[in-house]
Amino acid sequence: MLSFSIRLFRPWYVLLALCVSVFGFLGCDSTQSQRINSLTQADPDEQRNRASKRLALASVYFEQEQNEVAQQEVRAALLIDPSYAQAYSLLGLIHQRAQAPELAEQSFEQALKLASSLPSRPAELADVQHNYAWFLCQQNRFEQAQTQFARALSQPGYAQAGKTWMALGLCQIRAGKLVQARNSLGQALAHDAQNPLALYELASLDFQEGNPRRAHGFLSPLNASANASAQSLWLGIRLARALALEPEMQSLSALLQRKFPDSAQARLLAQKNFDQP
C-alpha cells in the first residue's frame, strides 16, 4: 500500500502561494470543488477504480482469514464508492465466516439491490448471486439457494459458471439431492475437465453408491496430477482395495505417506482403518 508523508507545518504564506498559483486567486475554500466540477468532467471510472483497489486488498485479507482487516478495507471501499455491490457481497462473506448471519444477509441484500440496478454489469450481479446462494446453502435454505444459483447461471456473459455449478453441486449434496448433484458436478467438469473438487466429489458419490469402478475412473486422473490431496489419495487407496488393485494401493499409500505424513488420512492408513472416509 502506498503511503504519503505530508509536511504539516509549512509557513502560511507558502500555503497561500500554492492556492494562488493553482487556482488563480480563486481561494482555497470548499467552493473550488464546485467550480472544478462545473468546468471539467470527472472520470466516471475513477471512483470505482479507487474503490476496487481497496476491495482487492480486502479480498487478500479475507483469503488470509484476517476478517477484521478485511472488513476495514471493505469499509474504505464503500466510503469511496457507496454503490459498490461487490464490496457489500464480500462484506456478507466476512459476516458469514464470523457467524453473524443476520449481518451477512443484510449485506447480501444490499449487494443484490445495487447490482440489480446495474443492467450493464450482469457479471457483477452473477457474482453477488453466487455468494448469496452459498450463504443460503450454509444456512440450509436450499430452495432459496437453488434459486440464486440458477439466477447467477442465467446471467449473460458470466465467465465463472463452472465455479457456480461446482458450488451448486456441493449444496445439493448437502441437501441430499444426489442425482441433481451429479448433474451439477458434471456441468462443472464440462467447464473445467481437470476440476479437482468435482472429480473428487463425483468419485466419492460413486463409491458411496457402490460403483467403485466408475469412481476409480474419475479419481485416477486426479491422483496422477499435482492436484492430488490427502483426501483424494485416501479415497484412491480405498477404491484400489475394493477393486483388488494391490500395486496401485501400495503406490498411493506410499504417496500419501510421503506427501501428507501428518494428515488424518495417513493416520488412518497406519491404523489400516479403511472403513473411515
DSSP letters for 265-276? HHHHHHHT-TT-
Whether residue 60 is predicted with pLDDT greater than 50 in this model: the reply is yes
Domain with CATH 1.25.40.10 in the chain: 50-160, 195-277
Q: Going by C-beta distance under 8 Å and a sequence separation of 6 or more, which residues neighbour residue 69?
A: 61
pLDDT band at 277 (very low <50, low <70, confident <90, very high): confident
Separation between Cα atoms, residue 161 and residue 151, nearest integer Å: 11
Question: The domain 50-160: what is its CATH number?
Answer: 1.25.40.10
Give the per-residue pLDDT at 1: 40
Answering whether pTM is above 0.85, one says no
- 132-172 pLDDT, tens digit per residue, is 999 999 999 999 999 999 999 999 888 999 999 999 999 99
Residue 239 near residue 207 (C-beta atoms within 8 A):
yes
CATH architecture of 195-277: Alpha Horseshoe (1.25)
Q: How many CB atoms lie within 10 A of CB 148?
A: 25
Separation between Cα atoms, residue 188 and residue 239, nearest integer Å: 23
Give the per-residue pLDDT at 42: 56
